[in-house]
Amino acid sequence: MDGYHMLTLITLLTVFLMFWTGARVAMGRAKYGINAPATTGNPDFERIFRVQMNTLENVAMFLPSLWLFGLYISGLWAAAVGVVWLFGRVWYVLGYSAEASKRGPGFGIGTFALAVLAVGALIGVVMQLIQGGV
């Protein structure tokens, strides 16, 4: 299996992660009686909602970094770091949903993985430019 198939798998798992966090918000609305468009009113719901929004914000940086790292460095290495990011985000979702103070480890793992992908992609594209790539 080449790196691009793995990147596709990581991308699809990211889509499922977003679906899962969205479903958790819908279930939280029902459980805590928070009708749309309200996003406040119960601290337990607010954490679930923030998890979804924070993850969505993170995905906007993660996916381009994942694919650019895969294109300019290595698809397999990008996928491996992508698995680390997914692991970190799931830990973040579960920790933050339970208690805000438990979000740190998952956030740290995910942020580190994202930084590796973004910096690696930047290095890769700059090296291509230096080598005369167009």
C-alpha–C-alpha distance, residues 28 and 13, integer Å:
22
In which band, very low, low, confident or very high, does the pLDDT at 21 lie, cut at 50, 70 and 90?
very high
Q: Where are the alpha helices (DSSP H) in the chain?
A: 3-32, 43-72, 75-98, 104-130
The answer to whether the CB of 58 falls within 8 A of the CB of 89 is yes
Q: Domain 3-130 falls in which CATH fold?
A: Four Helix Bundle (Hemerythrin (Met), subunit A) (1.20.120)
Residue 41, Cβ neighbours under 10 Å: how many? 11
Calculate ∠ Cα 26-27-30, nearest 5°.
90
pLDDT of 83 > 90? The answer is: yes
C-alpha–C-alpha distance, residues 134 and 115, integer Å:
25
C-alpha–C-alpha distance, residues 119 and 42, integer Å:
38
pLDDT of 134 > 70? The answer is: no
Cα R_g (the chain), whole angstroms: 17
Q: Tell me the pTM.
A: 0.94
pLDDT in tens, 29-72: 999 999 999 999 999 999 999 999 999 999 999 999 999 999 99
